[in-house]
Amino acid sequence: MNINRMKTSVATAALAAASLTWAAQAQAQDGEKFKIYLSLSYSGNAWQSEAANIVKALAATPPYDTQVELIENISGTDPQAQIAAYESMIDDGADAIISFPISSTALNRTIRRGCDEGVLFFMYDGTVTEDCAYNVSFLSAGFGENTAQALVNELGGKGKIFLSRGVPGNSVDQRHTDGAMSVFSKYPGIEIVAEYYSFWDDRTTQQETAKALAAHPQVDGVWAQAGEYGVIQALLDAGRPLVPMTGENSAGFRRALADPEMQAKGLRGVSSGSGPAQSGYAFKLAMEILTGQRELEPQNIEYPLPWVPAAEVKICEGDSYTDGCNVFPESKVPSSFVSEVLNPVLLPEINVESALNGTPVPGATIQPLPADVVVTANNEPGINCDPCEAAPDLYKLTKVEATVQP
């Protein structure tokens, strides 16, 4: 553990040094820029890298390139480190902090202090319960219950299933699983034969699924969080037929859903879940507020739940999601690439190279967000507000209807 932490902190220091020199150059050109900090958790998985890359690409796209001084900071997986980072950013006179929060509660006091000094806080994907921060997240959009219902529909209301969960003790994993259980528990025909933690990682998912398959000769469906591509690989490794399953947005999973060979083996399902595009959306909202184009009080803002059933998967020929395509081919991105990183409505100015390298698209300019884009999110106690009342229809289905009755 300590070694990992040290590793991360050294990497952080190196990156921080690099971004500081870059920042110094930028400032030399123009002293009037908005100072915006990007505070990440750990850079080293595809999701975090893509989220950071698109913000960097947007900040380098005109007219933001002359308006923004963007400084990146990586805090590892330790809330204390992120608190310290926020403190320095506030003291350095940040105009806004765009951040993936490591904890939903530990950062509150520091955020409060920043708000009092006029700093805008924009959280993406993860949320904080401090109400002076803007939370931009899909968490309230019901990933768990919608995917669970889709799986139940595919299975006709009965069958043995695996749950491939995220990180134990994590509030996001808990919210997804609670949502899913609100559906599964209604169907006595659905039997959860194995439940394991896959840490949102393809390789861990594959190994944990392989172990579960060794213990359970029959499985009819899999409900998975991120890492879902590992489920397919484990089934193929074991020489089992594929089964209906739900998962998040990896390119490997989406391509498999569209692959006739995989379909013939029994794969069906839906790709949904967390997308790195949330960071770009949060950044653009923050910029529109800073430049006076939009008035918005701090609130919980919902990122629409990505929802791509097998029938709607379409492989892109170009570098962006045009004509309704929603996944890149193997020649462009690895299977771990998180597909929900571009968004034709919210982020039309970037492409796949931006997500991979943080480079702007030549000739592109920032397009304003649609005027009525902001959707207020439901209250989720302990996740995006505290103390607060949960909405009575917290686990209401929004993407699917129950086609089978219990």
Partner 1 sequence: MTQTPEPTPFTQAGDTRTSAKISRDTISAVSVAVLCVLLLLSARLVSPALGSWTQVETVLVLGFFLVVLSYGQGLVILSGGLDLSLPATITLGGILATSWVGANDPNAWYLLPVVLMICGLVGLMSGIGVVWLKVPPFIMTMAMSIIVASALLGYTNGTPRGAAPTAAVALMKTELLGLPTPVIVLVAFVAMGWLFQSRSIYGRYLYAIGTNLDAARIAGVPVTMMQILPYVISAMCAGFVGIALVGYSSGATLRMGDDYLLPSIAAVVIGGSSILGGRGTNLGTVGGAILLTTLGTIISALGMEFGLRTVIEGSIVLFALLLLREELFQKLRNLWR
Those residues with Cβ within 8 angstroms of residue 196's Cβ, 6 or more apart along the chain or in another chain? 162, 163, 164, 165, 208, 209, 211, 212
Maximum CA pair distance of the chain? 66
Residue nearer to partner 1 on the CB measure, 105 or 204: 204
**Looking at 83-91, 110-118, 327-335, 386-394, which segment touches partner 1 (CB under 8 A)?**
327-335
Asked if 111 contacts 121 with a C-beta cutoff of 8 angstroms, the reply is yes
Which SS3 state, helix, strand or coil, does residue 347 take?
strand
Bond prior to 63 in cis (omega within 30° of 0): yes
Cβ at position 206, least distance to partner 1 in Å:
5
Q: What is the DSSP letter of 375?
A: -
Cβ at position 43, least distance to partner 1 in Å:
5
Cβ at position 297, least distance to partner 1 in Å:
34
Those residues with Cβ within 8 angstroms of residue 297's Cβ, 6 or more apart along the chain or in another chain? none
Listed in order, strand segments (DSSP E) in 16-58 are 34-40
Cβ at position 112, least distance to partner 1 in Å:
31
Cβ at position 268, least distance to partner 1 in Å:
21
Strand partners, 190: 159
**Looking at 99-107, 306-314, 354-362, 397-405, which segment touches partner 1 (CB under 8 A)?**
354-362
Q: Between 46-59 and 277-290, two packed helices, what is the crossing angle to 10 degrees?
A: 30
Among 63, 88, 178, 216, binds partner 1 (CB under 8 A): 216
| Binding positions for partner 1, 243-262, rule CB under 8 A | 252
Q: Between 79-91 and 108-116, two packed helices, what is the crossing angle to 10 degrees?
A: 10
**Looking at 306-314, 315-323, 334-342, 367-375, which segment touches partner 1 (CB under 8 A)?**
334-342
Those residues with Cβ within 8 angstroms of residue 116's Cβ, 6 or more apart along the chain or in another chain? none
Residue nearer to partner 1 on the CB measure, 213 or 346: 213
Cβ at position 2, least distance to partner 1 in Å:
9
Structure-token pair, residue 35: 């100072």
**Looking at 116-124, 188-196, 259-267, 277-285, which segment touches partner 1 (CB under 8 A)?**
188-196
- Tell me the per-residue interface mask from 45 to 84 with partner 1, x by CB under 8 A, - otherwise: xx-xxx-xx-------------------------------
Among 330, 375, 396, 403, binds partner 1 (CB under 8 A): 330
Cβ at position 42, least distance to partner 1 in Å:
8
The tally of CA atoms less than 13 A away on the side-chain side of residue 99 is 30
Cβ at position 62, least distance to partner 1 in Å:
23
Cβ at position 135, least distance to partner 1 in Å:
24
User: What are the distances in angstroms from CA 398 to CA 127, 149, 179, 247, 268?
Assistant: 21, 10, 12, 17, 20
**Looking at 182-190, 320-328, 351-359, 370-378, which segment touches partner 1 (CB under 8 A)?**
351-359
Cβ at position 358, least distance to partner 1 in Å:
7
- Ramachandran angles phi, psi of 162, nearest 5°: -105, 145
- Tell me the per-residue interface mask from 264 to 303 with partner 1, x by CB under 8 A, - otherwise: ----------------------------------------
Cβ-based neighbour number of residue 277 at 10 Å: 27
Among 26, 83, 163, 212, binds partner 1 (CB under 8 A): 212
Cβ at position 198, least distance to partner 1 in Å:
11
Those residues with Cβ within 8 angstroms of residue 88's Cβ, 6 or more apart along the chain or in another chain? none
Among 19, 39, 41, 43, binds partner 1 (CB under 8 A): 43
Among 357, 365, 367, 376, binds partner 1 (CB under 8 A): 357
Cβ-based neighbour number of residue 85 at 10 Å: 23
354 binds partner 1 (CB under 8 A): no
Structure-token pair, residue 38: 């990007």
Indicate the helix (H) or strand (E) that contains 59: helix 46-59
| Binding positions for partner 1, 137-176, rule CB under 8 A | 168
Q: Please identify which residue in the block is written with the tokens 């900040």.
A: 59
Asked if 37 contacts 94 with a C-beta cutoff of 8 angstroms, the reply is yes
- What residue ranges bind partner 1 (CB under 8 A)? 3-4, 6-7, 10-11, 14, 43-46, 48-50, 52-53, 168, 194-197, 201-204, 206-208, 210-217, 230, 233, 237-238, 252, 330, 333-337, 356-358
